[in-house]
Structure 1
Amino acid sequence: MKKKIGLLLAFSLIMTPATVQSAEEPLRLKATSSWQIDYADDRCRLARRFGADETTVNIFLDRYGPDESFRLTVAGKPVKTGILKAEAAITFGPSESLQKVNFNNGTSGEMPALHFANRIRIGLPSEEELAAEAKHNGSYLEFEYTPISDARQKAVRYLQIGKPLHQSVILETGSMKAPLDALNACIDDLMGHWGIDVEKHKNLKRPASPTKSPSKWIMSSDYPSNMLVSGQPAIIEFRLSIGTDGVPTHCHVQATTRPKAFDDAVCKSVMRRARFDPALDSEGKPIPSFYRNTVHFQIP
């Protein structure tokens, strides 16, 4: 899992206080569709529907590269809230710990939706990993967590969304092992379309690594001036194709929440400033590779 997922240009962020959750019994919803896997040009999506009619809830797990994390969206009337942005409580139960994840309130189609701003996994890292991560914080290189075991994936039975909802919602997902395996297979296929040697990338001696901190790639002056005036934020998922000399050869916007001006600003800045130590295969030879990250443009 990538620890550093954002090039944060946050001038300030005003949080709205979360509503206190009531003691009302959770709304428990059974699955009313099978898992669906969507092979898109630059991401893989796992989707499923729960409940029916007024209690219908759809969930989407979007993955943009070969790691365990995904971006979660939960949509439907049961998750409607008046809070624009805050921290939500989610749990892949019954064995995994509660996670606190920032969300933005929005829509998915015509449904109200919670768009979770951070990429997450089905479970939190261990205390040992958190301690190792804390020691790693002085480095701008990504910290890799130990993969979540098959047993933990199989043990999942539901996804619960609590705070900020007045009535928490429990979605009976069943085991997550097979769905996540399907998502992994989709990502392998996606990387092949990117021109990446998937098998060599499973045994890299070194991934493509930034030579300087990614936080230096995009400056506040890169924010599109016309949208700075209008106060529009943005979240942009991007991928760089990296040559054997460590120089980016192309910038791909995998997902964006705002118009093309943001995409152009990100790619122009990153292509100009980003440089890498190239990826090395198992024999230590440089090979073409890629690098992924997320840009958050935020203003008051």
Structure 2
Amino acid sequence: MIRLALLATALALPLPVAAQAANRMIEPVGQWEIDSDDESCTLVRSFTALEPGDTTMFIRSWGPFTAFRVSVAGPTMQRDDSRAIFARASFGEPEEAKDIVAIGSSYRSGPMVAFQGRVDDTRNGAGTNAFGSFIYHLPERPDVNIAVPFTWEATQLYFDGSAMAPQTLRLDAMETARTLMEDCERDLMSEWEFGPPDQTGFARAPVLENPQVVGERMRFPDNVIVNHSSRIVQMRFHVGADGEVLDCEIQYPNWSNGNRRRSCREISDTAEFTPALDATGAPIDSLYRATLFLIRFD
């Protein structure tokens, strides 16, 4: 049985003694590059752990501001396909690391870990673009943290999984990476017909009032439930000036059209939004993005 809860405070879980090994430094190869599709922008860079270019880091955005999906694939990562991984991570020094839950997966037949990087940015507070996150998990683990504070001033990523040696990816200065990402995100907003992601001139972002109910309406594929898999799901909504959902898109994963249509239909009928307001206090159309975490510990 799984249940829905709002994202809570961090869970303090000490890692096994075996994981407290020497911190492996992983050096970059080449520069950041940007890739994109109709729903996302992804920064990609290669690193060297054991052999040149054997590790890849992805920073993926499904729209401007607030959060990224951060993934690292390589031979020294922890393999635990579609399962929750207790870890410590920071975009800083090891002593700054926070207890988090990451999700194990694979990339080109090798192990990969993924978690959320949260951007603390004053632009997130108001405007026609808002972000929310909510989490499914088993009752015996009620308090979990899935987000690591991220800043574009970060020069390294430290990650220490429950069944892997701690390691640090050296990022160096990320000004160019930030420019690539923000240009790509601006193009995304234009493609979605929301114009450039300028947060000025708006008094209030849209607010989803019933995230638990929305999460319960998500129609996960049968194999996800049967296999007790963990998943990160990205969604976006076009919210009308009356608070009604005018459009819904399951941005990730790339499930069947049937699953995505059923989920969006039920979510759109159920979601209760308080609409965004412009500078004069008038309700306006807006974009609301959300991340849903299905976390299974069994």
Q: What TM-score do the two structures reach when normalised by structure 2?
A: 0.73
* SS of aligned partner of 2:203: coil
Partner Cα distance (2:64, 2:197) in 1? 12
Aligned counterpart, 1:32: 29
1:157 to 140, 151, 155: 155
Match of 1:58 in 2: 56
| SS of 2:291 mapped into structure 1 | strand
- State whether structure 2 residue 197 is matched by structure 1 residue 219: no
Q: Which residue of 1 aligns with 2:184?
A: 186
Distance in 2, matches of 1:26 and 1:297, equals 30
2:21 and 2:27 map into 1 onto residues whose CA distance is 19
1:170 is aligned to 168
Report the counterpart of residue 135 of structure 1 in structure 2: none
Secondary structure of the 1:77 match is coil
CA distance in 2, matches of 1:204, 1:100: 35
Alignment correspondent of 2:274: 277
Deviation at 1:191, TM superposition (A): 0.9
For residue 196 of structure 1, report the CA deviation from its aligned partner: 0.7
Choose 67-76 or 160-169, whichever is displaced more. Answer: 160-169
2:103 counterpart residue number:
104
Partner secondary structure for residue 202 of structure 2? coil
Partner Cα distance (1:27, 1:221) in 2:
39
**Once the two structures are aligned, what percentage of the paired residues are identical?**
25
Q: Structure 2 CA distance, aligned partners of 1:8 and 1:108?
A: 30
User: For residue 115 of structure 1, what is the aligned residue in structure 2?
Assistant: 114
Structure 1, residues 233-256: CA drift from partner, whole Å, max 9, x if none?
A: 543211111122221111111111
Conserved 8 A contact 1:22-1:167: yes
Q: 1:196 aligns with which of 194, 213, 216?
A: 194
Distance 1:231 1:21, change over 3 A: closer
Quote the residue 1:242 is aligned against: 239
AA matched with 1:272: D
Q: Is the 8 A contact 1:217 1:270 kept in 2?
A: yes
- The count of corresponding residues between Structure 1 and Structure 2 is 262
Quote the offset at 1:157 in angstroms: 2.4
Alignment-mate amino acid for residue 103 of structure 1? A
Q: Tell me how large the CA RMSD over aligned residues is.
A: 3.6
How far off its partner does 1:209 sit? 1.9
Tell me the residue number matched to 2:204. 206
Aligned with 1:35: secondary structure?
A: strand
TM-score, length of structure 1 as denominator length: 0.73
Describe the SS at the equivalent of 1:205.
strand
Query: What is the alpha-carbon distance in structure 1 between the residues aligned to residue 25 and residue 215 of structure 2?
Result: 44
1:89 corresponds to which residue? 88
The change in CA–CA distance for 1:290 and 1:88 in structure 2 (over 3 A counts) is same
Q: Secondary structure at the match of 1:34?
A: strand
Q: Does the 8 A contact of 1:235 with 1:257 survive in 2?
A: no
Q: CA distance change for structure 1 residues 205 and 219 in 2, over 3 Å: closer, same or farther?
A: same
Residue aligned with 2:65, SS = coil
Residue 259 of structure 1, CA deviation: 4.4
Q: Which amino acid aligns with 2:87?
A: A
8 Å CA contact 1:96–1:123 kept in 2: the answer is no
Structure with more helix by fraction = 1
8 Å CA contact 2:238–2:285 kept in 1: the answer is: yes
**Gapped runs of 5+ residues in structure 2?**
7-12, 122-148
1:76 to 74, 77, 83: 74
Q: 1:110 to 1:199 in 2, by over 3 A?
A: closer
TM-fit CA distance, 1:81: 4.0
Indicate the SS of the match to 1:268.
Answer: helix
Closer, same or farther: CA 159–57 of 1 in aligned 2, 3 Å? same
Q: Judge conservation of contact 1:8–1:295 (CA < 8 Å) in 2.
A: no
Change (3 A) 1:262 1:101: farther
Contact 2:20–2:166, Cα closer than 8 Å, also in 1? no
TM-fit CA distance, 1:174 = 0.5
* Counterpart residue type for residue 70 of structure 1: F
Shift of 1:41: 0.9
Structure-2 change in CA distance of 1:20 and 1:105 (3 Å) = farther
What are structure 1's unaligned runs of at least 5 residues?
1-5, 10-15, 125-146
